[in-house]
């Protein structure tokens, strides 16, 4: 059977198909001509034709907000108007654009009323030109809110500058006649001894120490010299009504008492971002006729800059080390001898080193930061007396502790500073290394490390001195009065927000050589305390004191402080029951250390709020028992050397050894 195309056999059908094709072609051509016509008209109007039914119209809108003018430019897509005229385009735009502009105006007016404390007075033209009009409008809204915030921040900063006068913080202290001396020299040079002799001869005076333990040593030394003295630290006061001399930690300096001589020890701490503010405050604010700073060469320039700001001449007296200090070849743990000290940079490292040294047959004493001052003193005395052969310590021994160290060995030349693991800075190395070779006991001091790399770092830091940069800042910290006045300016009494304002907004420009100290830990404490609304009912001055409490931000101590703050606010009394209740845990030494820190915290608060923290005498006895437990644990850990056990004999089965066939390659 043959099949044929229908169009071949039906002439009418073929004619119909041809007509349809011609009609379709004509329609397409007409559509193309119409699109070309519309495109030409749109182009003449500055529009852009998109597809067959949409046109993008570029528009500009100008809005007035007080003295500011906001110009927004961009394209808006609309349906193609019946008439391609500007008037028709504006009519098509109105229902799409006007609501957005109204919302934009309302949002900015509301933001201005909420953000600005006074009407906007900045005359400025802001232009936002984007491909899309609505994108430009969004950008304009964000930018204008930011402009209002920046204006208000500037106004607040100007008020802070005018009302707080922090640029003149140093100059704000009394300018009565006084003299400054800087006794500069390395450790074991006799500078502190000479300063204390001046203090002993003065009718009245104060010694300011970086550590409670050092303040205690000088307090006892003054008494041995026949000088009546009082001791003032954060958690204890030993007062003598007849005393005209005080040994104190630097943070506890009394700025209201007039004295003859003030000794400020370890003055290179002026450069410390965390605690340097305390040295600035003490040197600038102490009311002494003569201020003697004792410090290393690293701190001399900072002292000179501070003296220049105060307008007080600074005399420099140099001291040389009384016996030489040399860097020697690496000393492994197996080569330690009596009188050596090993320095590490964490509690865990100290405990681990004690175990390793003990296996070599030497007894050890330990000093690290989380120990209470009383335990540190006992451990130092064990080493001084020779009861312990070797001292294992952190860099806590670098700040003035007098110890009969013959050789000082760095277990590491790196430390974790809270953010990163870094190599020790040369001033840190010199401060610690200088404790080797106590004058009068050893002809020279020797410093080394466990490995050759460490020795190279030590040599580079000790044998080649590089002066500190000249542009280091002078560190200051806001007082309670500064916080109170700032609270009035910015309208909040939350201590955490006030401190954050000081940290991020005050004295940040490059023109000032003053800087706000690192307040991150204080802010973290304040945030934890203010999580409880009841605590916020306490007066601002009380909450400021709590934020400066000596509490570690790790572990449970901060949570305990928050509970105490809540009890202070609700009950008006804190008994410290957390210290008298039993503790549970595996590491007994660590638990004792935690309890000791809490006891120290309680006693610190009892000095400031004696009616609330009224269990001070009982907690003092508790801390003494805890310190005894810690000391006993350290003695067990360090006084009983652990001998290496004989290696177990390998197991050997009876009978002849079995032949092990070797697998040969195929």
Task: Give residue 193's pLDDT band: very low, low, confident or very high (50, 70, 90).
Answer: very high
Burial of 166 (0-12, 13-18, 19+ CB in 10 A): buried
Would you say 257 and 230 are in contact if contact means Cβ atoms under 8 Å apart? no
Tokens matching residue 476: 């200051």
Stretch 149-161: mean pLDDT: 87
- DSSP collapsed to 3 states, 512-552: CCEEECCCHHHHHHHHHHCCCCCHHHCCHHHHHHHHCCCCC
Q: Which residue has the tokens 């390793």?
A: 356
Stretch 533-544: mean pLDDT: 95
Strand ranges (E), 553-647: none
Q: Mean pLDDT score of the chain, rounded to an integer?
A: 86
Question: 3-class SS at 263?
Answer: strand
Residue 250 has pLDDT above 80, yes or no: yes
Task: Give residue 628's pLDDT band: very low, low, confident or very high (50, 70, 90).
Answer: confident
Task: Give residue 538's pLDDT band: very low, low, confident or very high (50, 70, 90).
Answer: very high
Residue 141 has pLDDT above 80, yes or no: yes
Q: Count, in order, helices (H) and strands (E) of the chain.
A: 20, 22
Q: What is the pLDDT of residues 35-81, one digit of tens each?
A: 777 777 777 878 888 877 888 889 999 999 999 999 999 999 988 88
Stretch 613-633: mean pLDDT: 87
Residue 176 has pLDDT above 70, yes or no: no
Would you say 458 and 447 are in contact if contact means Cβ atoms under 8 Å apart? yes
Least confident range of 1-5, 243-247, 277-281, 618-622? 1-5
Q: In this predicted structure, what is the pLDDT of residue 662?
A: 40
Q: In this predicted structure, what is the pLDDT of residue 661?
A: 42
| 392-216-226 Cα angle (round to 5) | 130
Looking at residue 405, what DSSP letter applies? B
Tokens matching residue 173: 């202290």
Category of 303 on φ-ψ map: left (φ > 0), alpha (ψ -120 to 50) or beta: alpha
Structure-model confidence comparison of residues 235 and 131, the more confident one? 131
Q: In this predicted structure, what is the pLDDT of residue 1?
A: 44
Structure-model confidence comparison of residues 587 and 333, the more confident one? 333
Q: In this predicted structure, what is the pLDDT of residue 631?
A: 81
Q: What is the pLDDT of residues 290-309, one digit of tens each?
A: 999 999 988 999 999 999 98
Structure-model confidence comparison of residues 407 and 647, the more confident one? 407
- Measured CA distances, 45 to 35, 48, 134 (Å): 15, 9, 21
Task: Give residue 31's pLDDT band: very low, low, confident or very high (50, 70, 90).
Answer: low
Q: What is the pLDDT of residues 357-388, one digit of tens each?
A: 988 889 999 988 778 888 888 888 999 898 99
Burial of 241 (0-12, 13-18, 19+ CB in 10 A): exposed
Q: Tell me phi and psi for residue 275, to 5 degrees.
A: -115, 0
Stretch 136-158: mean pLDDT: 92
Structure-model confidence comparison of residues 442 and 128, the more confident one? 128
Task: Give residue 582's pLDDT band: very low, low, confident or very high (50, 70, 90).
Answer: low
Complete domains list, the chain, with CATH = 47-164 (no CATH), 172-318 (3.40.50.300), 325-462 (3.40.50.300), 477-636 (no CATH)
Cβ–Cβ contacts within 10 Å for residue 118, how many? Answer: 8
Query: Which of 373, 353, 438, 218 shows the shortest CA–CA distance to 365?
Result: 353
Q: Tell me phi and psi for residue 78, to 5 degrees.
A: -140, 160
Residue 658 has pLDDT above 50, yes or no: no
Q: In this predicted structure, what is the pLDDT of residue 666?
A: 40
Query: Which of 313, 312, 280 shows the shortest CA–CA distance to 208?
Result: 280
This prediction has a pTM of 0.76
> Which range, 129-143, 159-173, 391-405, has the best average confidence (pLDDT)?
129-143
- Measured CA distances, 418 to 214, 376, 447, 590 (Å): 25, 23, 26, 20
Residue 516 has pLDDT above 60, yes or no: yes
- C-alpha–C-alpha distance, residues 292 and 310, integer Å: 15
- C-alpha–C-alpha distance, residues 429 and 433, integer Å: 6
What sign does the CA torsion over 426, 452, 359, 639 have? negative
Residue 206 has pLDDT above 80, yes or no: yes
Task: Give residue 235's pLDDT band: very low, low, confident or very high (50, 70, 90).
Answer: confident
Q: In this predicted structure, what is the pLDDT of residue 649?
A: 46
Residues in CB range of 441: below 8 A, 6 or more apart: 404, 406
Q: In this predicted structure, what is the pLDDT of residue 22?
A: 75
Residues in CB range of 420: below 8 A, 6 or more apart: none
Task: Give residue 597's pLDDT band: very low, low, confident or very high (50, 70, 90).
Answer: confident
Task: Give residue 3's pLDDT band: very low, low, confident or very high (50, 70, 90).
Answer: very low
Q: In this predicted structure, what is the pLDDT of residue 34?
A: 65
> Which range, 432-441, 559-568, 625-634, has the best average confidence (pLDDT)?
559-568
Query: Which of 395, 400, 375 shows the shortest CA–CA distance to 597?
Result: 375
């Amino acid at each position: 059977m043959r099949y044929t195309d229908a169009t071949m056999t039906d002439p009418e059908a073929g004619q119909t198909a041809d007509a349809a094709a011609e009609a379709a072609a004509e329609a397409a051509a007409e559509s193309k001509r119409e699109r070309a016509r519309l495109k030409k008209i749109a182009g003449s109007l500055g529009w852009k034709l998109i597809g067959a039914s949409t046109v993008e119209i570029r528009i500009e809108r100008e809005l007035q907000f007080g003295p500011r003018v906001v110009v927004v430019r961009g394209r808006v897509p609309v349906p193609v108007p019946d008439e391609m005229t500007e008037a028709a385009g504006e009519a098509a735009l109105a229902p799409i654009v006007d609501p957005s502009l109204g919302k934009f105006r309302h949002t900015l007016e509301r933001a201005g009323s909420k953000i600005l404390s006074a009407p906007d007075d900045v005359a400025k033209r802001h232009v936002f030109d984007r491909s899309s009009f609505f994108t430009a409008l969004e950008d304009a809204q964000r930018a204008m809110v930011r402009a209002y915030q920046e204006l208000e921040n500037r106004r607040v900063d100007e008020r802070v500058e005018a009302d707080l006068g922090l640029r003149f913080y140093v100059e704000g202290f009394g300018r009565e006649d006084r003299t400054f001396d800087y006794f500069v020299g390395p450790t074991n040079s006799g500078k502190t001894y000479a300063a204390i002799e001046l203090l002993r001869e003065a009718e009245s005076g104060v010694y300011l120490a970086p550590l409670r333990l050092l303040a205690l040593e000088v307090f006892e030394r003054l008494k041995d010299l026949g000088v009546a003295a009082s001791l003032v630290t954060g958690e204890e006061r030993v007062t003598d009504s007849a005393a005209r001399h005080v040994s104190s930690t630097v943070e506890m300096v009394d700025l209201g008492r007039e004295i003859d001589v003030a000794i400020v020890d370890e003055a290179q701490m002026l450069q410390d971002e965390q605690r340097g503010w305390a040295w600035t405050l003490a040197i600038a604010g102490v009311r002494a006729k003569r201020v003697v700073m004792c410090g290393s060469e690293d701190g001399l320039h900072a002292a000179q800059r501070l003296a220049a700001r105060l307008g007080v001449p600074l005399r420099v007296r140099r001291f040389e080390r009384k016996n030489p200090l040399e860097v020697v070849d690496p000393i492994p743990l197996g080569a330690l001898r009596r009188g050596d000290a090993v320095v590490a940079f964490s509690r865990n490292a100290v405990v681990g080193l004690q175990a390793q040294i003990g296996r070599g047959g030497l007894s050890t004493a330990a000093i690290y930061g989380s120990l209470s001052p009383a335990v540190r003193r006992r451990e130092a005395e064990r080493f001084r007396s020779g009861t312990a052969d070797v001292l294992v310590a952190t860099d806590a021994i670098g700040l003035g502790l007098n110890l009969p160290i013959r050789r000082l060995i760095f277990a590491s030349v790196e430390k974790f500073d809270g953010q990163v693991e870094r190599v020790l800075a040369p001033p840190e190395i010199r401060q610690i290394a200088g404790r080797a070779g106590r004058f009068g006991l050893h002809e020279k001091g020797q410093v080394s490390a466990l490995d050759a790399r460490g020795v190279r770092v030590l040599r580079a830091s000790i044998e080649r001195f590089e002066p500190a940069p000249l542009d280091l800042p002078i560190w200051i910290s806001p007082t309670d009065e500064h916080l109170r006045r700032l609270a009035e300016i910015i309208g909040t009494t939350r201590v955490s927000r006030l401190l954050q304002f000081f940290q991020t907004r005050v004295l940040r420009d490059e023109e000032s050589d003053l800087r706000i100290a690192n307040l991150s830990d204080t802010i973290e404490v304040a945030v934890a305390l203010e999580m409880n609304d009841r605590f916020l009912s306490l007066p601002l001055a009380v909450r400021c004191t709590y934020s400066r409490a000596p509490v570690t931000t790790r572990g449970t101590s901060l949570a305990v402080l928050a509970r105490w703050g809540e009890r202070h606010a609700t009950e008006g009394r804190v008994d410290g029951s957390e210290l008298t209740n039993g503790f549970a845990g595996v590491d007994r030494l660590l638990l004792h250390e935690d309890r000791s820190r809490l006891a120290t915290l309680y006693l610190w608060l009892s000095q400031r709020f004696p009616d609330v923290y009224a269990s001070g005498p009982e907690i003092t006895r508790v801390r003494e028992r805890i310190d005894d437990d810690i000391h006993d644990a350290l003695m067990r850990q360090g006084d009983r050397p652990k001998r290496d056990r004989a290696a177990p004999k390998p197991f050997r089965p009876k009978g002849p050894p079995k032949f092990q066939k070797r697998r040969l390659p195929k």
